[in-house]
Amino acid sequence: MANQELKLLEDFEKNSRWFHKNIDELQKNNFVGKFVAIDNEKPIASNKDINIVIKTIEKDGKNPSLIFIEFVHPKGFTLLL
Amino acid sequence: MRLPLQVHLFAGGLRAMTRFLLISKEPHIFGSIEAIVDTGSPTTVLGSPDLKRMRVSQIQLQKLESRKEQIAYGGGLVKTKILNGAQLKFGDYFECTMPIQIPVDEIKDCNQPTILGVDFMIQNKFKLVFDPIKKEAYFESSE
């Protein structure tokens, strides 16, 4: 894998790890039921509508394809795949 | 060969998860994906939120081959297109090219994640080792 690609994936992984580590805090802080975008290990946008999150990211000049975005499920909710 | 996975408490349960770069020439896709490993799913399916992040339009999807049968996805039945030749790059560990299913029917409020299915394991001859107690998981070459 090229160095640039590796860096992109590492940044994404770092933000994913932050999300999963801080899910309890996100649930306590009004992110439940919303998509939250994480960059540099902090939330940069959130909304119930992912399209609005994507537009916010693009306005900031970032590429949403490379930004970690995940839905914050409520505590106790179980997703069956 | 081992491909390490992460184990996270996500949406009510411990899940084996992985991240990779997804690359496709036509339609053009280049993005990072987090996927849940799901041995209950025969196929790998790109989640609706990830599809939106990749900014792939319905017009671009029209050119792709359709799958005849609908799949149960996000609480409903949906039609899918097949993204042939999708490249999955797992850092320095592993990469492969395989078909991925893309849901084309819009499901309201769908937040279903991307699923890495059994087709990935069959194509790459992987077995899954998942230890929820130790929160360890990895794919291992079964050859």
Looking at residue B37, which CATH number applies to its domain?
2.40.70.10
Cα B21-B22-B25 angle, rounded to 5 deg: 130
Residue B128, pLDDT score: 97
**Is residue A14 domain-resident?**
yes
Neighbour-count burial for A52-77, b at 16+ CB within 10 Å, e otherwise: ebbebbeeeeeebbbbbbbbbbeeee
Q: Considering its fold, how many domains does chain A have in total?
A: 1
**Is residue A76 domain-resident?**
no
**Is residue A23 domain-resident?**
yes
pLDDT above 90: percentage of residues in chain B: 69
**Is residue A80 domain-resident?**
no
Domain that holds residue B64: 2-141
Q: How far off is chain B from A42, nearest CA to CA, in Å? A: 17
Q: How far off is chain A from B54, nearest CA to CA, in Å? A: 5
Domain that holds residue A22: 3-71
Nearest chain B residue to A13 by CA distance is B19
**Is residue A78 domain-resident?**
no
Mean pLDDT, rounded, for B17-44: 95
**Is residue A10 domain-resident?**
yes
Residue-wise pLDDT for B76-116, tens only, equals 778 889 999 999 999 988 999 999 999 887 666 678 899 99
Give the model's confidence band at B74: pLDDT under 50 very low, under 70 low, under 90 confident, else very high.
low
**Is residue A44 domain-resident?**
yes
**Is residue A8 domain-resident?**
yes
| Cβ of residue A16 closer than 8 Å to a chain B Cβ | yes
Nearest chain B residue to A67 by CA distance is B32
- pTM, two decimals, is 0.93
Residue B107, pLDDT score: 66
